[in-house]
Chain A
Amino acid sequence: MNSSAASSPPLIQLEGVVKSYGAGSAEELVILHGIDLCIQAGDYVGLVGASGSGKTTLMNLMGCMDRPTRGSYRINGQDVTSLDDDRLSAVRNRSIGFVFQSFQLVPELSVLENVEMPLFYARVPRRERRRKAQELVQSVGLGHRMQHVPSKLSGGECQRTAIARSLANDPVLLLADEPTGNLDSRTGEEILALFAQLHERKRTIVMVTHNPEIAARLPRIVEMKDGRILKDSRSGSSQPLVAASA
């Protein structure tokens, strides 16, 4: 693992990332205090920590929804901190897949159309877009629900749709913020199984979870507290990785 990290840049590399609100003013509110984090391609990382510890904030930064106040963020070696809004949009479109706790599907659009959305913004021609979206919807087991609108779907089906959508442009990084938070445990397990499958196919995943049981199953756990990384450990072989930044 370490040897491969030396030869090629890590997929995700955050160095001294600080996020604060109201920077420069007297009441500057620092949410993230210098985060250092490396994620190699194919890793499956669980992000845990108390509520308000800054997990979502960190996910937003990694997903290029937001820019760090200080520090650098590299994806595949390319610094994205200085990109303008349009370029950040392009990065989100091509390289990131989001899965949210509350699904975030457009209620007026069908399952198929929701899945098509990232392809639309990637300027994929209509026909191909349709074909690809159908494939994706089928792959998450919703072939019989393609024309349904989200309000006619169960929570699990909604989240499957969202996962299919997140995979549309074949992103290098999947970011899932409490993807099972709104689901009952059985449906949650189905979604987790889906993620496990994706992990087997070498997809890089970062998942926020509040559930210690779920976290325990993941190969790597990053624990946050008050805007800092408290612990970064590998389970199974249970060898701790990089020491937590202090």
Chain B
Amino acid sequence: MAKPLAVANAGETFLLAFRNLRRNKLRTLLTLLGMIFGVGSVIAMLSVGAGAQAELLDRIRELGVQNVIVNSVRPPQQTRDEKSSQDSDWIDRFGLTDADRLRIERLCPGIDQLLSVNLVPDRVWHGSSRLDATILGVPPAYVSLFGLVPTLGRTLSELDEASASSVCLVRRSLLRKLGVLEEPLGLSLKLGNFPFQVVGVLEDSNYHEQTLAALNLEAGAHEVFIPHAASMRTFGNLVYKERGGTSERTRIEVDRLVAVASSADQVRTVARVIDAILSHGHEQEDYQIVVPLSLLEQQERTQRVFSVVMVLIASISLVVGGIGIANIMLATVTERTREVGIRRAMGARRSDILAQFLTETVAIGLIGGLLGLGFGMAALQGIVRTTGWKAEVGPTAIMVSMGISCAVAVISGLYPARRGARLDPIQALR
């Protein structure tokens, strides 16, 4: 059997289809609108979904997918009770210890690096201006692990660590808030009572909420990075805080441990083993394990459900658009019954007639898909601008929407086209 003429002569059949569509401009436009809204909303929703997905990914990447972060936290039941408030020498002790670190190093396989972080909440002084800051004593590996690349000056080096030099990396906003006008490199700032020299300036952090939570930071906190050895030598691990007349002293040997698993598959095992190791010797819950990878997967799941629901809702308008096409094509077939009769008398086969009508619906699908793509991107712009969400129109979204619109067009055009093809030529000519 010869292939349908429309296939052999696709170009001309398409031309004819466009001509027929042009003849009924308003009607075609109204039919197209359905497709445009349908395809547009599907694209917008797909893209919003993809954007959320991407944002999720880089939100978690900020924490490192291969990392297991263990924070020391104040155990929930340990509040300052009678006894401690009477005793001025009382020191709160909780959290991770150097012994924990050693045990993890010895017992937990699959860890590439294990980094300790010493957190010191203290003030930074520049002349007479001061600012509350979070001073992080970190090994040089930490700086590169979290991608803290100074845009000015240099980063913390092994030499800084080995010699416990009093140098620091600061955020640009900290300099601004302190009113530093001069060249920041080489500037001497006082961290607490101790002079530290600025060797590098980092751009301002723009941490996601999740990152802030995982890193025990408050939004807008000013981070100052200094070598771990310097922080231990200068500040130690005893934190003294005065609050409303009463003083509070806490000793946390290790504020944070960051274990870097040798691969992403290992992350969960590493987290489990660390938890098992730590559960011995910690009667109270004074540590908290954050596994960015698990967070990612958990949120991806919610995100995916959300995306699917959104796309389903958007698809409803596509279905409505499809019904519009079916409706218009039924009318077209009825209107052009005589033409069908003429074509059949001239030797057109049923398949030729079918192909002719289907080509018209595919043309609607293609145009609707293209315009819908434009509409979707415009709508997306609006959404992005008003909500600040991230959104991506990927090639998949484009292909999916074009595919969907053509599929919808063909499906909804099939019945009308079959009806046209099955017309009795004699009746059709009457």
Which residues of A come within 8 Å of B, CB atoms?
60, 63, 65-66, 85-86, 89-90, 92-94, 98, 100, 104-106, 108, 117-118, 120-123, 126, 165, 169
Q: Per-residue 0/1 for B1-23: is the Cβ within 8 Å of any A Cβ (1 yes, 0 no)?
A: 11001001100100000011001
Q: Which residues of B contact A105 (CB under 8 A)?
A: 342
Q: Does chain A have a CB within 8 A of B200?
A: no
Q: Which residues of A contact B343 (CB under 8 A)?
A: 106, 117, 121
B5 CB to closest chain A CB, in angstroms? 6
A108 touches B19 (CB 8 A): yes
A65 touches B346 (CB 8 A): no
A104 touches B429 (CB 8 A): yes
With A117-B343, A118-B347 already in contact, the answer to whether A100 and B429 are too (CB < 8 A) is: yes
Task: Select one of B2, B5, B342, B350 contacting A85, CB under 8 A.
Answer: B350
B346 touches A92 (CB 8 A): yes
Nearest first, the 8 closest Cβ-Cβ pairs linking A and B are: A93-B347, A121-B347, A89-B349, A118-B346, A92-B347, A117-B346, A86-B349, A104-B342
Task: Identify 20 new A-B residue pairs, CB closer than 8 A, beyond the known A86-B349, A104-B429, A117-B346.
Answer: A63-B345, A65-B344, A65-B345, A65-B425, A65-B426, A66-B426, A86-B350, A90-B347, A93-B346, A98-B346, A104-B342, A106-B342, A108-B20, A118-B346, A118-B347, A120-B12, A121-B5, A121-B343, A121-B352, A123-B5
A92 touches B345 (CB 8 A): yes
With A108-B20, A123-B8 already in contact, the answer to whether A89 and B344 are too (CB < 8 A) is: yes
| A-B contact number at CB 8 A | 66
A170 CB to closest chain B CB, in angstroms? 13
A129 CB to closest chain B CB, in angstroms? 10
Q: What band does the interface of chain B fall in when counting residues whose beta carbon is under 8 Å from A?
A: 20 to 34
A162 CB to closest chain B CB, in angstroms? 10
Q: Does chain A have a CB within 8 A of B154?
A: no
**How far does the alpha carbon of A153 sit from the alpha carbon of B20 in the complex, in Å?**
21
**How far does the alpha carbon of A104 sit from the alpha carbon of B428 in the complex, in Å?**
11
A90 CB to closest chain B CB, in angstroms? 7
B331 CB to closest chain A CB, in angstroms? 16
Q: Does chain A have a CB within 8 A of B38?
A: no
Q: Which residues of A contact B346 (CB under 8 A)?
A: 92-93, 98, 117-118, 121, 165
A155 CB to closest chain B CB, in angstroms? 17
With A65-B425, A65-B426 already in contact, the answer to whether A122 and B347 are too (CB < 8 A) is: yes
A86 CB to closest chain B CB, in angstroms? 5
Q: Which residues of A contact B1 (CB under 8 A)?
A: 86
A98 touches B345 (CB 8 A): yes
Q: Does chain A have a CB within 8 A of B339?
A: yes
**How far does the alpha carbon of A186 sit from the alpha carbon of B426 in the complex, in Å?**
30
**How far does the alpha carbon of A86 sit from the alpha carbon of B344 in the complex, in Å?**
10
Residue of A whose beta carbon sits closest to that of B345:
A98
B348 touches A121 (CB 8 A): yes
